[in-house]
Amino acid sequence: MIKKIALVTGAGSGIGRAAAIELGKEGWSVVLSGRTLKTLKETAELIEVSPTLIIASDIRDPKSVENLFRSTFDHFGQLNLLFNNAGINKSSTPLEEVSFSDWKEVLDTNLTGAFLCLQQAFKIMKMQAPMGGRIINNGSLSAYTPRPFSAAYNTSKHGISGLTKSAALEGRNYNICCGQIDIGNAQSKMTKRMTDGTIQADGSLKQEPTIDVNEVGKAVAYLASLPLDINIPFFTIMANKMPFIGRG
């Protein structure tokens, strides 16, 4: 059986955990990365068949990211998939009131962290034999249509789209595919407020539907299953009745 090695950031909960479980079901050996060892171990216990490797890492720290990918390669000898998933958001805040610390934390995690991981994945995928691999960036519907009072998050996810395009372009000659999954309202701690009421473009509060996070995990596993001569640059999965198409 051909070895398939995947690295999932933010694997301790939510979308990262769901994706890691589905990848395990499909025969991938999964490297589980995140800042909290306890939740990573909980994810590992849910992956019953495939081998896992747990590496606590802070993707905001270049040295921590270097160690994450070096440890992955030292252990498995290859890397076939990076699910660049880790991300955070902050409470709704008018643009002019966003603190510098909140702005920096969101951008450092969602965009710079994703860049640092992608950069290390490129280095491995270009030098390994056979050359190549797949990178899936976790974007958002906010990469296309922003929500109000979410300037830092919206900016970070628009930046992810640019990073995806750059990586897709530069990866072509090295058999590296880079695409983006844009997710609308998957059930997680980050979207819990959706069911209580979310600020709309007209200032009103409205409950929004969510989707089972496990369905998102299945979508990631599907994208991971594609041969490297196929890329889906942008893949959207969302709650059918959420106010996105025609938002605002």
Torsion of Cα atoms, 118 then 135 then 228 then 175, to 10°? -10
Sheet of strand 176-184: strand arrangement: 52-56, 29-34, 5-9, 81-84, 133-138, 176-184, 234-238
Catalytic residue among 144, 153, 174, 222: 153
Q: Is 153 a catalytic residue?
A: yes
CA triple 199-200-206, angle to 5 deg: 70
Nearby residues of 128 by Cβ (< 8 Å), 6 or more positions away: 73, 77, 78, 79
User: Residue for token digits 């510098």?
Assistant: 100
CA triple 131-15-183, angle to 5 deg: 90
Active-site positions read 153
